[in-house]
Structure 1
Amino acid sequence: MADIEANKAVARRYMQAVVDGDIATIEALQHPDCTWWILGFGDMTRADFIASVRDGLLTANRRVADIVGITAEGDRVAVEVRGEMTFPHTVYRNEYHNLLIVRDGLIVSGKEYMDTRAAAAAFGPAAEGAA
């Protein structure tokens, strides 16, 4: 039987590691065979996901990830997050819903839903041209 509170704690630690820019903890909280699916990007391997976090979100000068809701049942943890990342030429604000599957203290898979229009406005060709 899953330890729901422990699984929620893993999700909270993961979100805090993103805020702290702690790539070692982000890596450590994921099972070696972890897989991800992100709205607008599709399936990602653990390595590709970690690279995207390291080369994307963690390059922000300031990161905020406020958990506005967390619900768990069995090994599934749903986390609602309001994020704000400050980059040199833009401030990226978005709201996320992450569905994490946690087993034995590690994330074995994750799905991330977000407003893809907010991401495109911050990072798409139009945003790059305005920088």
Structure 2
Amino acid sequence: MTLLGEDQPESLDEAAARLEKTKKIAVGLLDAMAHGDKAEFDRLLSPKATWWVIGYGEFDRATLLHPLTRTLDRATQRRHAVLG
């Protein structure tokens, strides 16, 4: 597998390690949202992050964080479940 912008393909072990790291970050973001932990969400979210929402399109990091923090402030109950 070759990553965008890279000339050398990564090994299967490297690809598996990158996938596990990505999964941990994704679960960490969901956990931070579920616990209303805005600081942790901010820490985990890449400066280059974008978020696509059906009906609204793509948001950059700053545009995402503003409404998300307002939603977390208003939410009295939060939960998530990762299946699979």
- So what's the TM-score if we normalise by structure 1? 0.48
| Distance in structure 2 (CA, Å) of the matches to 1:27 and 1:6 | 17
| Distance in structure 2 (CA, Å) of the matches to 1:50 and 1:23 | 9
Aligned to 2:23: 8
Deviation at residue 57 of structure 1 after TM alignment: 4.2
Deviation at residue 20 of structure 1 after TM alignment: 0.5
**Structure 1 portions without partners, runs of 5+:** 70-131
1:9-28 matches, within 5 Å, as: 9-28=24-43
Is the Cα–Cα contact under 8 Å of residues 18 and 58 in structure 1 kept in the other structure?
no
Aligned to 2:48: 33
Is the Cα–Cα contact under 8 Å of residues 29 and 45 in structure 2 kept in the other structure?
no
User: Which deviates more from structure 2 when the two are superposed, residues 51-60 or residues 15-24?
Assistant: 51-60
Query: Which letter does structure 1 place at the counterpart of 2:60?
Result: T
Deviation at residue 32 of structure 1 after TM alignment: 1.2
| Distance in structure 2 (CA, Å) of the matches to 1:41 and 1:57 | 20
Change (3 A) 1:5 1:13: same
Count of residue correspondences: 69
- So what's the TM-score if we normalise by structure 2? 0.72
Query: Which letter does structure 1 place at the counterpart of 2:28?
Result: R
RMSD: 1.4
Deviation at residue 58 of structure 1 after TM alignment: 4.2
Moved over 2 A (4+): none
Structure richer in helix, relative to its length: 2
Greater relative CO (CA pairs within 8 A, separation 6+): 1
1:17-96 matches, within 5 Å, as: 17-69=32-84
Is the Cα–Cα contact under 8 Å of residues 51 and 64 in structure 2 kept in the other structure?
yes
Larger Rg: 2
**Sequence identity of aligned pairs in percent?**
30
Structure richer in strand, relative to its length: 1
